[in-house]
Structure 1
Amino acid sequence: MQCASTKSQQSRSERLMAESRRLLDEIEKTTQKTQSDVNKKIEQRQREIKFWKQELDSKLEQIVHETDVLLTFKTRLEKSLESCKEPLLIAQKCLLNRQRRAGIDLVHDKVEQELLKEAEVLQGVIALLGRTLEQTNEQIRLNRSAKYNLEMDLKDKFTALMIDNYCASLTNNTPDIRCADNAVKIEGNFVSPENWIHFSNINIEKADKERNNSLALRVLIDGILSQAVSDMHKQCEMVNVAFRKRVKEVKDAKHKLETLLAVVLDEIASQEVNIAALKKAIADKEGPVKVAQTRLEARSHRPSVELCYDTVQDRLINEVQEITKNIQRLKDTLAQAEAELKGLSCRQLSLEEEIQIKENTLYIDEVLCLQMRESVYINNF
């Protein structure tokens, strides 16, 4: 009993030591893997902060430069409303005509965007002539507000980067590492990564918005003072380029649709031939099945012992079953072919309808709008 008890105890001890070694190895590997993953996350976070810091630096430099330039744009203004009225009217007529596009072509495309921009530019020239100085001062204030937000965000990014740089430098042998009570708790003022990105995005978008507004305002002022007509010419040309590009795109799309329609028509013809062949094959099988069934019926009249289930009888029965099965397969295939033909016919109608839509769009853009825009003349003022 002592011997057996000792061996049992020894066996349990050995198993425990083996399990302990396995557990030690597992935990060590897990700890190293986790710490390595944390180090990678810190490096990734450093790259993210540096990226956004560079973005903010770039936007700050742009907004500072734009504000400095805008400060020089305080001078006299001149009016020239008549030169803006006709181009504006034509742009509005083009927008109105393009509302008559149908189906999928009634899209807010590049032409629409450029036309809206052209109308906005012309209306802005008309509306802003009397209050440009006030708007310039307001824009400077908005630029400085965006600049302040960028500077505060940059300051916070710099502090966060310094802290993460310190964290990245820590190792298991760093002298000043320590256990910190309540280090794991999540404070109420923590923000999510999405909100963190959103915060900087808002600052950048606001800076971009104010910078773009400032650029537009400077273009307007510069144009009113010296060559505002140049901007209107440029926008007019951008609209015309967009129109020509759009017309080409619609023509290409119409050509592709016509090509697809030809393919569908060919496929319809082929499918109709296929359906006719299937119907003929079904009809052709009536003779063989009648022959086999007639033979079976005739052999059922054999007298007495001659009414034997011989190989002929077995083969005839198999023949009837085989032909019947094949006829059903042909009928199933015929049903599929007819359904496919119906689908092809629907596709044909859809393509023909889409081609009509493209023709309508071409008439509006190429005939109505482009020819109307040929009469646009912008006076120098």
Structure 2
Amino acid sequence: MSDPTPRRQFLGRLPLPERAFLADALRAETVGGILLLCAAVVALVWANAWPAGYQSVLDRTIGPSAPLHLDLSLDTWAKDGLLAVFFFVAGVELKRELVSGELRDPRAAALPVVAAVCGVALPAAVYALVNLGPGGEPAGWAIPTATDIAFALGVLAVVGSHLPSSLRAFLLTLAVVDDLIAILIIAIFYSHGIKLWALGLAVLGLGLFYLLHRKRVHGWYLYLPLAFVIWALMHESGIHATVAGVAMGLMLRCTKDPGEQHSPAEHIEHLVRPFSAGFCVPVFALFAAGVSIGPSAIGQVFTQASPLGVVLGLLVGKTVGIFGGTWLAARFTRAELNPELEWSDLFAVAVLAGIGFTVSLLISELAFPDDHALAERDKAAVLVGSLICAVVAAVLLRLRNRSYRRIHEEEQAEW
């Protein structure tokens, strides 16, 4: 007799309820952060246990050489291609914040925007000061300026069960503005040999993308090929290809038409975020985080100017920049800290924002394209600095969470 129970094929397509559960899990900040951390650990183990094999995978070339020179290494596909999806989601988040989030109200947005700007400027200044002397490498000034939104929100979600929701909103707004500044830095300072014909065609493609969206034309089979062409032209132009991702994200409509349950931006982000968090960013981390972590490599992080500047920029520059900038803005302008928050909460978040993983690793490669060894040392510094910030911030947030939990329990007892 045949077995009436259906057998699930190994590695086959999951049933719809399980696929929905997996997609929802990948939208959670904690799951995305855990996957990112696991990918980084795998990369470190792989690169240190079998460096030749790891490098051979990174250098493997795939893609057509004509007409747009897309015969790229897997490493380049990860940092130029997969991260474009990550920045597309960041662009959608920024657009949503501008239309219906914290950035819509200038008074509410003032403090996190000031925090983001100061949280970029101070780390760059710290890096520059450390690298003033002989042997310094000023080209890496932008490495410690970026906050990793996935890791930071993941840590906050894990340790902050009783923290005010406004603290997450502050961190999210800060991180979104931080991502926008990072994109501008990459586009302006780390794009070389601009090909105007390719850039012009990419801009025309973006115009067509916007026009189709504006005219309410639907169909993924139109937008997906068009998005790839825009990305390829942007890559060919010499502008970093991730700019195409954030540009398309910013073009999506965040308001609902009559009869729509969700805006196009919300709907598309809901579909793309699991792919970004569950595949794109972890694969990028797998290819970017594989650096030597032997005793000599760790020693160089704290003894050489460029990696030391990265660590101090993330730990000191981010903390002082975000906390100090916010305090000065609240002290000398009409901007006010949310009444739900204490300054100690903000200090903990300022330390947390020093986690500069994804974009910092990308800028490490862009800053030193001809000095692989220095890029690797700065990547190690990003990992070390981010780890220190994550641990210190987790302790501080845990203490604040304990205080809020005690207040909550006292209020419950009174009732």
TM-score range, shorter chain: under 0.3
Normalising by structure 1, what TM-score? 0.20
TM-score, structure 2 length as denominator?
A: 0.19
More helix as a share of residues: 1
Bigger-Rg structure (1/2): 1
